[in-house]
Amino acid sequence: MPVAATFLLGLALLQAAPPPQDSIPRVTLAEALARAAELDPNYVAASRQVADAEWSRRAAITTFIVPSVSAQISGTRFTEEQFNIGTGQPSAQIVDARIQGRLNLFRGLGKVRELERARAALEGAQAGELEARYVAALFTESDFFDVLAQRELLRVARERTERVEEQFGVARARVLTGAAVQTDSLQLLLQLQAAQVELIRQEARLKVARFQLGRRVGATGPVDAVDLPLLTDRDLPLSQDQAVQEAIETSPSILAARAEERAAAASVKLQKGSYLPTLDLVGQYSAFDQNFFPSAIVRGSLGLVLSLPLWDDGARELAVSRSTSAERVATAAREDLERALRRDVVEAYEAYDASRAALDLAESSVLVAQENLRVQQERYRAGATTILDLLAANGSLSEAEAELVQAQFTTRLALTGLEAILGRRLFDAVVPEGS
């Protein structure tokens, strides 16, 4: 390619304006967390389990004081007249109505055990809802900070392009004056084209990240993230041992596992109570006639029913065996989860410390790369270095800035992962009030 054509192409690349960006809605982290929680299927399911468990607990309480009640009315027409107990006369139509109530007076400790099981199930559901909320927050923050990270990487790509454009202008002037060879401008032109291609790719990554955030918050299109201080320079407010101990005691996952274990233990006791006799108070109100509503004869009854189950083809024994197995499985799951939590907390804690160290290194690398590029630019203008050294310094700065961005958001996500395990925020200022 002739040198003149090369310069014309370079100028065209320099003057090419980036495509206009359409305005898109923006959300804060607090808004994203609130909206995502309402849409996350796992969290919605967990919240419904809380509602179901609450009704189960209420039902267990009402069995102590409220009888079960059933009402029935039936009418029968015969081809031949039958004796009607209501009218005392033969009739081709008989109508009867009855209301029956049954109140359990004694079922061993069955009702108490059922209430224990319902309460444990409610506590487990509440812990599961909290765990689901923080898991949803983990995914939401990941998408939110990915938008911020891709936007920062887009800034890095643009700054790289601007630097290469400036260097291209310097090289072009030196070639025209005979202070540099033509390959210098060609090398920079190639570097400029590569920078612009990377800029296009980074714009695409940012667009995809915005669509993912939009999906997370229930939007039909892309959504941008409002800037948020990263606060990655702060020490964790608790030691690693304290974090492990807190997770073992109050982590939502371990609370749910312990509640499930208690519920399984209550189920075992409930099934064993089926060997004891039951005592029920039964009342009935009946009316008979040949018309709707029957009123010719009204009768009431009240009685006690004592029942002693002897043998039901092994159904009780099977139920006890299954509930005992379920209890052992729940205990094993809880013990395994406690061991896993120790490992998970240590991993998340160490990941935060390691990412902070990497962040310090990345910040130092940027400073060194900036100074190195400044020196190489001055030396190139003075003719004391080659174009290859300048290009290497420019690439090193771009890489260092990209690594800094990744280190910043890796540190923030490491903190979010630890918070998801503990089920609480470690820094109140990280997420604005209301999230």
Whether the predicted pLDDT of 187 surpasses 80: no
**Range name among 159-163, 202-206, 420-424 with the lowest pLDDT average:** 159-163
Give residue 177's pLDDT: 60
Tell me the CA distances in angstroms from 376 to 6, 162, 170, 183, one per residue in order.
Answer: 24, 16, 13, 18
Place of tokens 């800037």: 227
Q: Which of 261, 240, 433, 270 is nearest to 350 (CA)?
A: 240
Asked whether the beta carbons of 164 and 186 are under 8 A apart, the reply is no
Cβ-based neighbours of 1, under 8 Å, separated by 6 or more? 9
Give residue 171's pLDDT: 64
pLDDT band at 428 (very low <50, low <70, confident <90, very high): low
- Work out the percent of the chain whose per-residue pLDDT is above 70: 87
Q: Report which listed range, 159-168, 226-235, 241-250, 374-383, is most confident.
A: 241-250
Give residue 179's pLDDT: 52
- Work out the percent of the chain whose per-residue pLDDT is above 90: 24
Whether the predicted pLDDT of 21 surpasses 60: no
Buried b or exposed e, range 251-268, using 16+ CB within 10 angstroms: bbbbbbbbbbbbbbbbbb
Give residue 154's pLDDT: 92
Q: Are strands 90-106 and 68-83 parallel, antiparallel or unpaired?
A: antiparallel
Give residue 337's pLDDT: 93
Give residue 336's pLDDT: 95
Average pLDDT over residues 336-362: 91
Q: Please state, in angstroms and rounded to a whole number, the distance separating the CA atoms of residues 336 and 1.
A: 69
pLDDT in tens, 150-160: 998 998 888 88
Q: Which of 421, 426, 420, 405 is nearest to 33 (CA)?
A: 420
Q: Which of 68, 66, 59 is nearest to 99 (CA)?
A: 68
Give residue 328's pLDDT: 95
Q: Which of 323, 260, 327, 329 is nearest to 117 (CA)?
A: 260
Give residue 182's pLDDT: 62
Asked whether the beta carbons of 243 and 418 are under 8 A apart, the reply is yes
Average pLDDT over residues 283-297: 87
Q: Are strands 224-225 and 278-289 parallel, antiparallel or unpaired?
A: unpaired
